Amino acid sequence: MTVHTILQPDGWAKPKGYANGVAAEGRLIFVGGQIGWNGQGQFETDDFVGQVRQTLQNIVEVLAAGGARPEHVVSLTWYVTDKRDYLGNLAAMGQAYREVMGRNFPAMAVVQVTALVEDRAKVEIQATAVVPV
């Protein structure tokens, strides 16, 4: 069952790992910014990819609490403290993403920030999901 429609303007190069736009109808779930610590608020790694994986797992758990799954995610906003960490780890990060989120590639933005509220956090991700009704 299709839960949303990818918006790809004619003549545009197809993006890799994200969508330019998504159209969806249903019940909205907004996931507040998640970081790379576990459910008890403890960091298990300072590795960038490890924190990305944990952050995505946290998003999946919040989605599940709302009756949603990764394929319902239509938008992600990533905040990273060092874009070199992001760009230098694309392959490993992509593998972690696919293992946790599957092959769902929503509309996405990545923003480098000076710092995150938690000093050890290297990434924070906010998600929006639409669950079909």
Domain boundaries, given as residue ranges, for the chain: 26-131
Of the pLDDT bands very low, low, confident and very high (cuts 50, 70, 90), residue 3 is confident
Which amino acid would we find at residue 1? Answer: M
- Both tokens assigned to 55: 């952050």
Distance CA 120, CA 45 (A): 9
Pick the CATH number of 26-131 from 3.30.1330.40, 3.40.50.2300, 3.40.1110.10, 3.40.50.970: 3.30.1330.40
Report yes or no: 29 and 128 within 8 Å, Cβ to Cβ: yes
DSSP annotation of 30 reads: E
pTM above 0.75, yes or no: yes
Each residue of 58-82: pLDDT tens digit? 999 999 999 999 999 999 999 999 9
